[in-house]
Amino acid sequence: MAVSELRRLRKNQSLRDKVSEVNLLASDIILPYFVVEGKNIKKPISSMPGVYHLSIDNLLKDIASIKNLSSVLLFGLATSKDERASQSYQGDAVLQKAIRAVKKEFKQLVVISDACLCGYTSHGHCAIVREKKPDNRQQGLDFIDNEATLKVLSKIAISHAEAGADFVAPSAMMDGQVKAIREALTNNSFSDVGILAYSAKYASNFYWPFREALDSVPQFGDRKNYQMDFRNSDEALREIEQDISEGADVVMVKPALAYLDIIYRAKQNFVVPVAAYNVSGEYVMIKNMGKEAESLAFEVITSIKRAGADFIITYWAKEVMKWLK
């Protein structure tokens, strides 16, 4: 048999395009933004080259400049923090204002808002922390008050829905968070608001650049007693199954690159849309490739789709839009 049989289909670009199995679409891509108070602010984030803190006016300009952008994920930077994340659910906090402004200007854009406490708590955890001696905290005893956190997450979700978010995206990894948010939304006449659940969110070192960007580095301990252990994958399916039963519309695997097997299993096992978050550390790692960075990013983002992701959250969104024909 001729050895060139498979190569026949790789002869030129048009032929390769014709037989390609997976192609990125603009509608697959979600761009995250970090929004800050103020006017005309575009401040580089040192841990994430090419990514900026933007004030709302500049956020609107940036979105308008990206042709075919269909969806954004918004994070807000707190102006004051406390133990109970009080600013996280204020209607006039910067995230809520940004959701309102974006929805007003771009009616067709799918606006997703991150629902978490870590950017708003003085201790940097994604949860309400129990009163305990610091040494208990360091030993990793359960310092997380799951129930109290669910109440705050519900308030956050309602405030985002009031501002006009299409989807709220709970990322605190508290048990029962999707159920609590779904009930809160329904009871407040927001049953049309979707939940994009960070279902299989791992305790990952890939988040470090983001934590600097959002100023959410935990001040003691780590997130390992709420985020998942990277040695596990069956557990990811249990998380996803539970979130679907609690009312999630879309489930997410995060990070993406070192977790392509989880994305694959999620897609094979469930019939809901699966999102994948190509997180900050993955972005920086590729960015550091210099002039080959963009072609590498395209390869990597395509591989996330090939593994089974229906939506991909990526800081490369602007570049992806340029590459797509």
Q: Please give the positions annotated as active site.
A: 201, 254
* Chain Cα centroid distance, residue 153: 16
The residue (of 105 and 229) whose beta carbon lies closer to ligand PBG is: 229
Structure tokens at 289: 């490739």
Closest CA to 250 of 270, 230, 268: 270
Q: Is there binding between residue 280 and ligand PBG (CB under 6 A)?
A: yes
Select from 18-26, 139-147, 158-166, 206-214 the region that touches ligand PBG (CB under 6 A).
Answer: 206-214
User: Distance (Å, rounded) from C-alpha 249 to C-alpha 194?
Assistant: 6
> Between helices 234-246 and 177-187, what is the axis angle to 10°?
10
Q: Is there binding between residue 207 and ligand PBG (CB under 6 A)?
A: yes
The residue (of 163 and 252) whose beta carbon lies closer to ligand PBG is: 252
Distances from the Cα of 203 to the Cα of 126, 159, 224, 235, angstroms = 12, 27, 6, 13
Q: Any idea what DSSP says for residue 8?
A: G
- CB under 8 Å, gap of 24 or more: what pairs does 23-26 form? 23/302, 24/298, 24/301, 24/302, 24/305, 24/312, 24/320, 24/323, 24/324, 25/324, 26/68, 26/69, 26/70, 26/320, 26/321, 26/324
Site residues for ligand PBG, window 120-159 (CB under 6 A)? 126
Closest separation in Å from C-beta 188 to ligand PBG: 23
The residue (of 114 and 166) whose beta carbon lies closer to ligand PBG is: 114
# of chain residues touching ligand PBG (CB under 6 A):
11
Decide: 43 and 52 in contact? Cβ < 8 Å.
yes
Among 100, 211, 265, 267, binds ligand PBG (CB under 6 A): 211
User: Distance (Å, rounded) from C-alpha 178 to C-alpha 171?
Assistant: 10
Among 171, 177, 199, 314, binds ligand PBG (CB under 6 A): 171
Closest separation in Å from C-beta 211 to ligand PBG: 5
Select from 56-64, 83-91, 113-121, 256-264 the region that touches ligand PBG (CB under 6 A).
Answer: 113-121
Q: Whose CB is nearest to ligand PBG?
A: 210
Decide: 282 and 205 in contact? Cβ < 8 Å.
no
Closest separation in Å from C-beta 216 to ligand PBG: 6
Q: Is there binding between residue 116 and ligand PBG (CB under 6 A)?
A: yes
Decide: 193 and 167 in contact? Cβ < 8 Å.
yes
The residue (of 237 and 284) whose beta carbon lies closer to ligand PBG is: 284
Closest separation in Å from C-beta 218 to ligand PBG: 8
Among 110, 279, 284, 300, binds ligand PBG (CB under 6 A): 279
Among 56, 118, 156, 293, binds ligand PBG (CB under 6 A): 118
SS3 29: strand
* Amino acid in the structure at residue 62: D
Helix, strand, coil percentages, rounded to 5, for the chain? 45, 20, 40
Torsions phi, psi of 254, nearest 5? -155, 135
- Cβ atoms within 10 Å, residue 252: 27
Closest separation in Å from C-beta 280 to ligand PBG: 3
The residue (of 110 and 313) whose beta carbon lies closer to ligand PBG is: 313
Decide: 239 and 313 in contact? Cβ < 8 Å.
no
The residue (of 49 and 108) whose beta carbon lies closer to ligand PBG is: 49
Among 114, 166, 239, 243, binds ligand PBG (CB under 6 A): 114
Select from 55-63, 112-120, 178-186, 300-308 the region that touches ligand PBG (CB under 6 A).
Answer: 112-120
Residues that bind ligand PBG (CB under 6 A): 114, 116, 118, 126, 171, 207, 210-211, 223, 279-280
